[in-house]
């Protein structure tokens, strides 16, 4: 199963700033609970951020999860704290801490990871692992790394893999991307209860209100779920650069996580080169169903 990220560090061994940010996360979870903001899950989460603005001034921000009757508008603690900081002009994050009150040791979800890396992959990440406020210390960038395998040329792929690459590349032209201008396509290969295999396709579908956009991978995964196919899953997806860090959006990885912790992912580059990756590698120490 998935290895925890970072190095175990006792609260007493943290710097003054780090201690303050850890306390903010603990307080954030308490505030979310106090205001009944996590009324759907009863799963209070808190986050703390120390960030720097353009003048080099430093400020701290806290946050807790804010839920909605309809799940998608729910904002995780990390994103609440991050948007508070960014909105005040503090866009360079230095320290980020996270605390799940009922599941200490939890780690940010894929959507939060995607937002956090935008404001500093070099920031220190403190995942609080117990009620004594001890942490695991890593970097925010560790939350969305790249794949480790070498890139393979199209000619060196198996016949089946070449077919998938051709098919997924051909689909890209159907993407609706007037705003992002980043056409993407995905194939989700999976089995139903009877062991029958099928391939589900998806393309990116932008929305004028950006947050309402659907990513190719999630479209494919959700079609599969609708048809009752959710076993032995495998994702094939076009990406800008299969060898870069964070080749697939955190949101897609989080949706894939619901099908299991370690699905194979085939990253297809614009030149039809391929990198074979796994979910646990691209979304290490993931937040999954076991937490709730």
- Residues contributing to the site for ligand THU (CB under 6 A): 38, 41, 43, 45, 65, 67, 74, 76-78, 108-109, 112, 287, 292
Nearer to ligand THU, 214 or 291 (CB): 291
Nearer to ligand THU, 112 or 252 (CB): 112
Nearest distance in Å: CB 81, ligand THU: 10
Nearest distance in Å: CB 50, ligand THU: 18
Known catalytic residue at 78: yes
Nearer to ligand THU, 42 or 132 (CB): 42
Nearest distance in Å: CB 78, ligand THU: 6
Distance CA(263)–CA(256), nearest Å, equals 8
Nearest distance in Å: CB 34, ligand THU: 15
Catalytic pick from 12, 54, 67, 78? Answer: 78
Nearer to ligand THU, 19 or 40 (CB): 40
Beta bridge partners of 236: 187, 266
Which residues does the annotation mark as catalytic?
78
């Amino acid at each position: 199963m998935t290895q925890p990220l970072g190095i175990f560090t006792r609260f007493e061994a943290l710097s003054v700033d780090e201690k303050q940010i850890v306390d903010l996360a603990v307080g954030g979870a308490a505030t979310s609970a106090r205001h009944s903001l996590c009324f759907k899950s009863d799963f209070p989460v808190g986050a703390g951020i120390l960030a720097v603005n353009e003048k080099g001034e430093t400020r701290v921000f806290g946050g807790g999860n804010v839920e909605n009757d309809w799940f998608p508008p729910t904002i995780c603690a990390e994103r609440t704290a991050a948007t508070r900081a960014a909105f005040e002009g503090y866009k360079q994050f230095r320290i980020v801490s996270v605390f799940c009150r009922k599941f200490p040791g939890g780690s940010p979800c894929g959507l939060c990871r995607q937002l956090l890396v935008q404001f500093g992959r070099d920031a220190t990440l403190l995942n609080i692992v117990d009620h004594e406020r001890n942490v695991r210390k890593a970097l925010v960038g560790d939350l969305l790394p790249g794949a480790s395998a070498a890139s393979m040329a199209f000619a060196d792929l198996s016949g089946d893999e070449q077919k998938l690459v051709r098919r997924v590349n051909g689909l890209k032209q159907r993407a609706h991307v007037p705003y992002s201008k980043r056409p993407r396509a995905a194939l989700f290969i999976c089995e139903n209860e009877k062991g029958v295999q099928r391939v589900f396709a998806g393309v990116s579908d932008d929305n004028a209100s950006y947050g309402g956009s659907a990513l190719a991978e999630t479209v494919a995964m959700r079609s599969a779920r609708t048809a009752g196919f959710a076993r032995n899953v495998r994702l094939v997806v076009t990406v800008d650069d299969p060898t870069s860090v964070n080749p697939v959006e955190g949101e897609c990885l989080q949706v894939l996580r619901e099908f299991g912790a370690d699905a194979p992912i085939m990253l297809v580059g614009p030149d039809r080169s391929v990198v074979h990756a796994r979910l646990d590698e691209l979304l290490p120490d993931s937040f999954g169903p076991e937490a709730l």
